[in-house]
């Protein structure tokens, strides 16, 4: 890939984590916290199913009851992860309102939490939700940039890349990948959102382009909404990026100009996924494929040292990939 782009590219391999994505970093932290708080029942929302699988995995290990809310559409398109959650002993409850995706699963999880506040801990899967979730999840995910620093040092003798690029759904892998570079002004932070069928197609999840300041799921950030404040149903081929908001940290990076925000369409993400697979022998998650697609949109200066956060592996997306296989042969 470095050869293809003509720049030094490093992949941060979160896909090699147990359960196959960065989500486990946060799930372990929060379930340990829940155990410490004496909570007996764990609930979570999930989009792609990776956060659900991660939470169900830690709950299996800890012997805790686990309930995962998942949009009906996502239950269909991420079936392998639904099966994994069930095998791990979690109960998967379909969210049937709205566009039946991540936002709606989050609504149901919050309602469950309101109804069961004393025995239940809600493990939110991204840097969204009410305080202290955005902060807490970012801290648990900050291991990503901690590792980028020492691994880069080991490989290149210098722990600072010139660019870090990551996909943004709610923004947890990006927050983790950016965290220890936030105060390093030489490191450019690049976030890639899902443009769906095209930013202005009416079927998109490119929040910073399409959104305006608003309140969603307990935090003030940028939200895709109508002029009278009703949240708009997003679209992305990738269940993990199919969300009409972003974490408040990212809204700040966007507004302050510290972060650069790009977007990749469904088609560009698919192309990038097949490209990585054939070049490197790595099948990425559809979410991570958006970060890879972002690579092609930037004219990187010579001598750039670019880290791409490969947030997860693509096993869960094989159905979608198989449908598009012939387009990329």
Partner 1 sequence: MSRIAALFNKSKSAQKKVLNVYCTAGYPALDSTLEVMGALQRNGADLIELGMPYSDPLADGEVIQQSGGIALENGMTIARLFDQLKDFRKVIEVPVVLMGYMNPVIQYGFENFCQKAAEIGIDGLILPDLPPLEFEVQYSSILKKHHLDFIFLVTPETTEARVRMLDKLSSGFLYAVSSSSTTGHEKDFSLVEKYLCRLQGYQLNNPILVGFGIKDKASFDQTTRYTDGAIIGSAYIKALDGQKDKTAIEAATKAFLKTVL
Examine the residue annotation and report whether 96 is marked as an active-site residue of this protein: no
Give 3: exposed, middle or buried? Use CB within 10 Å, 0-12, 13-18, 19+. Answer: exposed
Residue 103 CA, distance from chain mean position? 13
Is 231 a residue that touches partner 1 (CB under 8 A)?
A: yes
126, 219, 225, 265: residue in contact with ligand PLP (rule CB under 6 A): 126
> Residue 298 has which token pair?
């930037």
Is 311 a residue that touches ligand PLP (CB under 6 A)?
A: yes
Q: Which of 45, 108, 188, 193 is catalytic?
A: 45
Q: How far is the CB of 22 from ligand PLP (least distance, A)?
A: 6
Is 255 a residue that touches partner 1 (CB under 8 A)?
A: no
Nearest to 136 by CA among 145, 144, 125, 146: 125
Task: Build a one-symbol-per-residue string for 183-222: x at contacts with partner 1 by CB under 8 A, - elsewhere.
Answer: -----------------------------xxxxxxx----
Beta carbon nearer to ligand PLP, 37 or 294: 294
Beta carbon nearer to partner 1, 14 or 242: 242
Query: Could you tell which of ligand PLP, partner 1, none binds residue 116, using a CB distance below 5 to 8 A set by kind?
Result: partner 1
Beta carbon nearer to partner 1, 216 or 291: 216
Kindly report the backbone phi and psi dihedral angles of residue 9, in degrees, each rounded to the nearest multiple of 5, phi listed first.
-115, 130
Let me know: does 148 contact 160? Beta carbons within 8 Å.
Answer: no
Examine the residue annotation and report whether 45 is marked as an active-site residue of this protein: yes
Q: How far is the CB of 6 from ligand PLP (least distance, A)?
A: 26
> Residue 162 has which token pair?
């010139």
Give CA–CA dist 8/277, Å, rounded: 18
Give CA–CA dist 148/151, Å, rounded: 5
Nearest to 7 by CA among 278, 301, 291: 301
Q: How far is the CB of 128 from partner 1 (least distance, A)?
A: 13
Kindly report the backbone phi and psi dihedral angles of residue 143, in degrees, each rounded to the nearest multiple of 5, phi listed first.
-55, -30
Beta carbon nearer to partner 1, 89 or 98: 98
Give CA–CA dist 105/107, Å, rounded: 5
Task: Build a one-symbol-per-residue string for 46-85: x at contacts with partner 1 by CB under 8 A, - elsewhere.
Answer: ----------------------------------------
Query: Could you tell which of partner 1, ligand PLP, none binds residue 240, using a CB distance below 5 to 8 A set by kind?
Result: ligand PLP
Let me know: does 213 contact 139? Beta carbons within 8 Å.
Answer: no
Beta carbon nearer to ligand PLP, 168 or 210: 168
Residue 81: HSE in the Cβ half-sphere, 13 Å Cα cutoff = 34
Tell me which residues are annotated as active site: 23, 45, 311
Chain positions contacting partner 1, by CB under 8 A = 97-98, 103, 107, 110-111, 114-118, 130, 212-218, 223, 225, 227-231
């Amino acid at each position: 890939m470095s050869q293809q782009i003509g720049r030094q590219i490093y992949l941060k391999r979160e896909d090699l984590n147990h359960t196959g994505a960065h989500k486990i970093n946060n799930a372990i932290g929060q379930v340990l916290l829940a155990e410490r708080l004496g909570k007996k029942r764990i609930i979570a929302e999930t989009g792609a199913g990776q956060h659900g699988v991660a939470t169900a995995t830690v709950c299996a290990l800890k012997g805790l009851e686990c309930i995962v809310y998942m949009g009906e559409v996502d239950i269909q398109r991420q079936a392998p992860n639904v099966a994994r959650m069930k095998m791990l002993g979690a109960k998967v409850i379909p969210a049937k309102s709205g566009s039946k995706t991540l936002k709606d699963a989050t609504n149901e999880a919050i309602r469950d939490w309101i109804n069961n506040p004393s025995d239940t801990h809600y493990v939110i899967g991204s840097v969204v939700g009410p305080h202290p979730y955005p902060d807490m999840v970012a801290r648990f995910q900050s291991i990503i940039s901690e590792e980028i620093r020492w691994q880069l040092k080991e490989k290149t003798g210098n722990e600072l890349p010139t660019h870090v690029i990551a996909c943004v759904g709610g923004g947890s892998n990006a927050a983790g990948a950016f965290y220890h570079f936030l105060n390093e002004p030489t490191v450019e932070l690049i976030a890639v959102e899902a443009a769906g069928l095209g930013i202005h197609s009416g079927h998109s999840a490119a929040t910073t382009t399409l959104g305006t300041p608003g309140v969603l799921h307990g935090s003030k950030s940028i939200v895709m909404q109508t002029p009278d404040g009703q949240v708009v149903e997003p679209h992305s081929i990738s269940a993990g990026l199919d969300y009409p908001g972003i974490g408040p940290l990212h809204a700040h990076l966007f507004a302050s100009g510290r972060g650069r925000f790009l977007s990749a369409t469904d088609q560009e993400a698919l192309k990038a996924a097949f490209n990585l697979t054939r070049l490197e022998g790595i099948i990425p998650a559809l979410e991570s494929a958006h970060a890879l697609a972002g690579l092609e949109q930037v004219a990187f200066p010579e001598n750039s040292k670019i880290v791409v956060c490969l947030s997860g592996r693509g096993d869960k997306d094989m159905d979608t990939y198989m449908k598009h296989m012939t387009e990329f042969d």
